[in-house]
Structure 1
């Protein structure tokens, strides 16, 4: 590791103005981004006495190879620049408020002719309204089950909707009146959209008016002696009230706020957020993060609050898709346990993201203080559960890495392990996968697929040649990253493979290991250990050794290697199947006379898949523009579907003969 004294800036060269700074490792990759009111004071504190730094900060300073900075004029500008750099460079030592899971939301696709209600995870899209987040997807489905009896809206996918439109028969939900069945024109597009907008209004908080309206209609039906309709409306009112009971009223004044609380120790912090919209708790999120422990910060919680507000709301605002104020990701109020020193600048920045004034407050009394205490208890419970789980996981991972180091005689524990696997069927559609594990955990953002270019000999030789090709391509990229950092990755961005692995694992025995080692020798890479893991007896092969290393069957190290190998195999198989499926689809329709590229695409787009195309009749296929009877029969025959050639052909227009020719 570099000595911090070797890259410490010269005395007096650091400006005293506010700014944002970046630490880079010896490969040029940004590993930490921070900001300071005085750059000189903050950066000097990193080099004063390493022994007094927090463990994570000390590790960062020891891993860095250089430091650079940018002077700004205001702290609001520093906030924005720091957020942009953290998002751009993804520094490994910065706290990132990533969810360990993608929280589900209830999405309403108002950008479609027939809007759909669905459980959704992922980036926001324009023209779609979102409600949530919810802790569990089943909570959304439960809400939909309650409310679709009152607001019978479409919940089916585009494929299901299209299929039922073709067969002119609604699905089960249409028969039990939990969908208004726009697919069979039971309601018009305008009527269905009105139902969906009423559903959105109810979730947005306009509940009292709707319940009063239903009760008025129920009483009127009873007065007219229409008891069946009155009973149905009574059940609708009950469904709405049950849905409201699941969203507890916490603020009687209809406040929109996020309530944030932390529970922390010397190394980690648990963060909990309750999202309150219209006075009701609409969602909850939680994170466990490692504390950065920047020098010069007297209060760790103030730093946590600042980092959370910057990163979380910056990411939420970039998601976009908020159709109205009720779904704006930045609320009017943010209730926090303590105020950071730059509260005014943070409020100004958040107000810019929201488009209106945002206040940051510490709740002092009443309902808001009570809810803040509840959120804090949730954070404390989450941290306790995490520590119990983490103790077991961390011990097992440490034992596994130590076991591998001892068995292979490595100088250091293999903190980064990469594994490559080959997948093919009798030498065709050869693909490879590369998976990455860091600290014993998968790092899926660094996974890679490879389409193999070379081919030779039998299946065994193909595997060996493919392993060599993937190894050359992977480490050639690594050498290019080092020798031309700005050419391949300007400003250090997205250089995922600037770090070489400590251990490179191939799926196979001695031939595959020797091929990988030969590729490394050819490129001049000498600091990467290579092994192979054979499936049959789980033997560990080392280059140029006649006999394998036998690790104990109950070894934590062997378990980790097996997990890495199996993950590489799974990733390769998934890619191979998708590639083979595309090739087989194309080849099945390629040989049909009169079926060009555009009509092939039209067929697959119309039916959704070749499997559904095989289930179609000649009449259904000829419904696709440009497809004649003769071509439809040829399609079915090419797919192995028997066609009754004696059956009378339907009367078609003259252009069918031209299309089928």
Structure 2
């Protein structure tokens, strides 16, 4: 947070109502250019008065809630991209329909703007910014640096200025285990120890009498249990000075920062010194601590031959949710793995998702490596690197590995992020909740009489009118019902691709009275989706009208994901990232996949038949035997004469003829 940020300036339109789905860019453009009540200037006019200094901007809705926070090197230029809709991110039109006012804060440098942006996001948790999905507090290992005898603790508290935090740890068991191992290596008090709390209270009451208090503790103190088993240094019994205790704390901090080789070096030096002094009991204790460290290193995977300090961050995105996985590598070893669930997915760009997570994650940890590896280039990578370097006290930069061990490990991070996201979705029932939400949204947006529990979708696949096929896929309760899938060969003679005729034919066959009465085709659909725009929708409506059927129907165009409906000339645009858009796109893509698969089967079969029919001596029996043996034309083309001749009933001469024909 900059020490002296500029004043908070306000702007906006009071009383602007929230839009409801569906929305479009025209509505957003009209909204930002409309004048406010009482002739107040529009958002466009107000943004024109914003200064060109660096700073942060806060977009607000009609209720005054902050819905997005951003930073800019030039506030006016950046905010102008929003109100003119020249920012090409998909979420911008919807967000700008919600915006009723804005604030901005001027700072001196772009670096200050970055720090301020992170603080504002943490304060307001805006809906359109990338954040943790559940926003729970993750556990940290903390050192209470503000105390005369700093203690270690496991905590989920908000960060305090006099405490140093290590983490976050997404596995609470791993955090507690780390503290347990650490205290075996270097004795240190825990903040939960009753005797440590007693000494702390005494020191707070008499801060100038630390030496006297140590004497009192030595004479009257009650040693805690940890002191007797070697995990406590004996602050409660006056057994250690502040200087010696400070050395222990420093060693703990190096351990938690991943600099374990330094800790091992210190312990070896202490053991050698104890042996020279003939203090074999102390040397034995230090040896046991070294054995704990060596055992810990044996459990950790070596991923780099050099002692590098790197964080690798992988992501896996679904439509509106994402998983993130961080591999923390210190001194060439994987120290820990952290997994997070984010509240944005494919509804924002990969760059925005990665940048938002990196800022959030490193804002809350002091454990910063020399390099952070990510899978994409960021526009503000240099700025983030400078911020991390300042926090670390040494150079830290963002890097996108293209090949080698780092790239391989980053792909492993991405696989772990995918598994973390899948576990979260199963554990929380996220997919089921989202499916129910999608069905209700479709009911509202398409003016259906009820949620579309059974959706049928048709797609046509052809090459210039040849091998024309149609697919029918069925989604029941928002999920694929593959037992109900059907595919059709188009019987009409076509000289060229004609989706209009093909769609009419397949719908006429599917919804013919005998098919509607056939239980194998399932029940009447609640919604019929055709892949395409207005022509395909018109063909479907014409055919259904001829059959005397009243089935809700819509067409989904590929280009802009617009939904064409019979009751409005203007297509419906479902909000980007909405559950309804994700579901209807999933239905459309599944129909397309099923049609393409059938089309390719017919085309490959026709090619196989025509080629083998040209070979003298190859009849139906031998043709079936050859194709059964090789399975596909690709494998048959790769086969040698000897391979083909190994098929039962195929002579060497016939095999040579097949081989030559395929080569010709």
User: What is the TM-score with the length of structure 2 in the denominator?
Assistant: 0.48
Report which of the two structures shows the higher radius of gyration computed on alpha carbons. Answer: 2
